[in-house]
Amino acid sequence: MSDTTQLPAFIGALDRASEWFGRTLAWLIIIMMLIQFAIVLLRYMFSVNSIFMQELVMYMHASVFMLAAAYTFRHDGHVRVDIFYRGMTPRRQALVNILGILLLMIPVMVFVIASSYGYVANSWRIMETSSDYGGIPAVYALKTLIPVFALLMIIQGLIEVVRNGYIFTGRITPPAADENHLEERV
């Protein structure tokens, strides 16, 4: 990943915040594994079942999946069909990235926000709770992850537009292609 100090100050700060947020979210995976281990232990050793703990694992999994998508995008870890892309010059790749973000990704994320608004707003209006006795009384918080995911993707997309714009204009050098990374994407 290119050095964020070469980006405009505000964009660089957002990029560093995205990096920090993604790395922080990774710790949630360890906590989720420990809680899942406790659920299994309680169920099979003590015949105790906790709906709250089961839902907590589901909430954490959804949080990691939805909120770390922008971090994954930042690190070029998303799925890409790169039949032509990998053979392009870094400048052309930057142009393809800019166009893909502006013409595909951002419009889709705006659609996600617009189409989920009523769904999430209604859940907040009724303060939706779990349908299972003993479950987490905050389904509205879980549903809120949908527009938050899309907003984080838009922010990261705009950061990537600026980064790729700088690559396209030669203001920063593109990150060096890692051979292992290229082999994974083939």
In SS3 terms, the chain reads as CCCHHHCCHHHHHHHHHHHHHHHHHHHHHHHHHHHHHHHHHHHHHHCCCCHHHHHHHHHHHHHHHHHCHHHHHHCCCCCCCCCCHHHCCHHHHHHHHHHHHHHHHHHHHHHHHHHHHHHHHHHHHCCCCCCCCCCCCCHHHHHHHHHHHHHHHHHHHHHHHHHHHHHHCCCCCCCCCCHHHHHHHC
Mean pLDDT in residue range 169-185: 66
Radius of gyration of the chain (CA): 20
Which residue segment(s) compose the domain that 64 sits in?
4-185
Lowest mean pLDDT among 26-30, 78-82, 120-124: 78-82
What CA–CA distance (Å, rounded) separates 6 from 75?
Answer: 17
Which amino acid, one-letter code, is at 137? P
Q: What is the pLDDT of residues 129-152, one digit of tens each?
A: 999 999 999 999 999 999 999 999
pLDDT at 122: 98
pLDDT reading at 175 higher than 90: no
Confidence at 179, pLDDT banded by 50, 70, 90? very low
Contacts of 94 (CB under 8 A, 6+ apart): 164, 165, 167, 168, 174
Report field, pTM of the whole predicted structure over 0.85: yes
Rounded distance between C-alpha atoms, residue 11 and residue 17, angstroms: 10
Q: Looking at residues 8-20, what average pLDDT do you find?
A: 93
Is 74 exposed, middle or buried (CB count within 10 Å of its CB: 0-12, 13-18, 19+)? buried
The tally of domains found in the chain comes to 1
